[in-house]
Amino acid sequence: MPAAWRTGGPNCLEQPDWQVHEYNSDFYILRQSGCVHYEKPFLYLIFGKQRAMLVDTGAGESSAADAVKKLMAQKKRELPLVVTHSHGHGDHTAGDKAFQAMANVSFAQAKTFGIENWPEQAGGIDLGDRIIDVLAIPGHEVAHMAFYDRRTGILLTGDHLYPGRLYVRDAAEFLRSTRRMVEFTATRPVAHILGCHIEQSAEPFVDYPTGTRYQPSEHSLELGRAHLLELLAALEAQKGKLEKVALRDFTIVPK
Ligand SMILES: [Zn+2]
Q: Ligand 1: distance of its center to the CA of 158 in Å?
A: 8
For residue 239, the model assigns a pLDDT of: 79
72: left (phi over 0), alpha (psi -120 to 50) or beta: alpha
Q: Decide: 46 and 128 in contact? Cβ < 8 Å.
A: no
For residue 112, the model assigns a pLDDT of: 97
Domains of the chain are 12-254 (3.60.15.10)
Alpha-carbon gap, residue 199 to 176, rounded angstroms: 24
Q: Ligand 1: distance of its center to the CA of 49 in Å?
A: 31
For residue 195, the model assigns a pLDDT of: 98
Q: DSSP 3-state assignment of 117?
A: coil
Q: DSSP 3-state assignment of 171?
A: helix
Q: Ligand 1: distance of its center to the CA of 159 in Å?
A: 5
Task: Please name the amino acid found at residue 25.
Answer: S
Q: Ligand 1: distance of its center to the CA of 37 in Å?
A: 14
Q: Ligand 1: distance of its center to the CA of 40 in Å?
A: 12
What's the Rg (C-alpha) of the chain?
17
Q: Decide: 198 and 221 in contact? Cβ < 8 Å.
A: yes
Beta bridge partner(s), residue 28: 22, 45
Q: Ligand 1: distance of its center to the CA of 80 in Å?
A: 27
Q: Ligand 1: distance of its center to the CA of 76 in Å?
A: 33
Q: Ligand 1: distance of its center to the CA of 251 in Å?
A: 15
Q: Ligand 1: distance of its center to the CA of 174 in Å?
A: 13
**pLDDT tens digits, 86-141:** 999 999 999 999 999 999 999 999 999 999 999 999 999 999 999 999 999 999 99
Q: Decide: 59 and 37 in contact? Cβ < 8 Å.
A: yes
Q: Ligand 1: distance of its center to the CA of 222 in Å?
A: 18
pTM over 0.95, yes/no? yes
Q: Ligand 1: distance of its center to the CA of 162 in Å?
A: 11
Q: What are phi and psi of 13, to 5 degrees?
A: -65, -25
Q: Ligand 1: distance of its center to the CA of 225 in Å?
A: 21
- The secondary structure of 177-224 as a DSSP string is HHHHHHHHHTTS--SEEEES---BBSSTT-BPPTT----TTBPPS-B-
Q: What angle, rounded to 10 degrees, do the helices at 171-185 and 225-237 form? A: 140
- Residue 194 sits at the vertex; the CA angle it makes with 6 and 234, to the nearest 5 degrees, is 115
Low pLDDT (below 70) residues in the chain: none
Alpha-carbon gap, residue 250 to 162, rounded angstroms: 7
